[in-house]
Structure 1
Amino acid sequence: MHDLVAITPLGGDKPRVDRVGPVTLSERPDWALASVASRLGREQDCRDGLKAALGQGVPDVGRLAAGDPLSAFWTGPEQWMVEAPHASHEDLAARLKAALGDAASVTEQTDGWCRFDMEGDGVVAVLERLCNVDVAAQDSGAATRASIEHLGCFLVCRAARRSLSVIGPRSSAGSLHHALLTAMRSAL
């Protein structure tokens, strides 16, 4: 019998936390992710089902609909990424598929992505060194795609100019973390 042990995207047995000046960078493997894409001709059914599952409106272009426990952000036309605490929603994709039926294609994304939360005064200066998103102009609830260190990532603004999530490919978690930490050391 195998004795398998869960590891974080950075390969640790617990999430990594780094602090540089006033900014904290935290590895967040405690979030489940699932993508939702409406099927052709079923867009309104998908939106209605997703609205019911979220318990709030479906996020518009470039937006996050933050809720408790489910949140979602827009990823493309009639497409969203849904997130929830992993401890209570390990089966997030299955729950969404049951709620949306054949109105949407739902895929498990938890282990395909890594999430780093960056918090504190100075996050704007850090992100200015990494991507062409005007982070200083973003309000709370903004969500966008960006290229960071040649990686396609999502930037989700949790609190304007103070708290952001950077969600990138898990297979490049080490490179993404290195880029974020290097920019923190450069900016702060």
Structure 2
Amino acid sequence: MHKLSPISPLGSDTARIDRVSDLTISEVTDQALASVTARKDQETALRAALGSVHGMTLPDVGTSSDSGGISVFWTGPAQWMISAPHDRHELLARDLKQVVGAAASVVEQTDGWCRFDVAGPTLCDLFERLSNAPVRNMTTGRVIRGTLEHLGVFLWRRAEDHMAVLGPRSSAASLHHALISAAHSIA
């Protein structure tokens, strides 16, 4: 019998945390992810279903919302990404599908993405070296889909001094290298 064990997007059994000057770059491995897309003419039903069960409000373009430990951010027209603590929502996609029924398509995303949280007072300096996203104008809860170096990512402003970066899991090492290199360039 196989003895499999999970590994992080960077290939370790523990999440990596790097500190460069006043910045902390943390690999986030404790979140389950699922995408939800409203089916044709079903967005109102989807919003009602998620609101009644989870108290979720599906956010508008470029924004996010939080409810009871579950976070949601807009990813496209009638599309959202939902994030929740993995230890309490390991089967997030399955559970969401049971709630929304035929109103939406739900797809498991947990292992398709990597997430790095960058925290510190100079995070805007770091992101200005990596992306043309207007990070200094992003307020808490704003989300932008753009590029960081050559990678397509979501930049999610979690707090004044905290940005989450979600990118393709297959590019985790490249994304991490870009973040660390830029952090050293402003240290």
TM-score with structure 2 setting the length: 0.97
Deviation at 1:149, TM superposition (A): 2.1
Q: How does 1:1-188 map to 2 (within 5 A)?
A: 1-160=1-160, 162-188=161-187
Provide the rounded CA distance (Å) in 1 between the counterparts of 2:67 and 2:98: 20
User: Which amino acid counterpart does residue 169 of structure 2 have in structure 1?
Assistant: R
User: Which amino acid counterpart does residue 44 of structure 1 have in structure 2?
Assistant: T
Which consecutive residues of structure 1, in runs of 5 or more, have no partner in the other structure?
none
Provide the rounded CA distance (Å) in 2 between the counterparts of 1:17 and 1:6: 18
Provide the rounded CA distance (Å) in 2 between the counterparts of 1:97 and 1:56: 14
Where 1:89 maps in the other structure, the secondary structure is coil
Pairwise CA RMSD: 1.0
Matched positions, count: 187
Deviation at 1:185, TM superposition (A): 0.6
Deviation at 1:48, TM superposition (A): 1.5
TM-score with structure 1 setting the length: 0.97
Moved more, 94-103 or 47-56: 47-56
What per-residue deviation string (whole Å, max 9, x for no partner) do you get for residues 84-142 of structure 1? 00011010000100000000000000000000000011100000001111111111000
Provide the rounded CA distance (Å) in 1 between the counterparts of 2:83 and 2:180: 24
Which consecutive residues of structure 2, in runs of 5 or more, have no partner in the other structure?
none
Where 2:101 maps in the other structure, the secondary structure is helix
Spell out structure 1 runs of 4+ moving beyond 3 A. Answer: none
Where 2:29 maps in the other structure, the secondary structure is coil
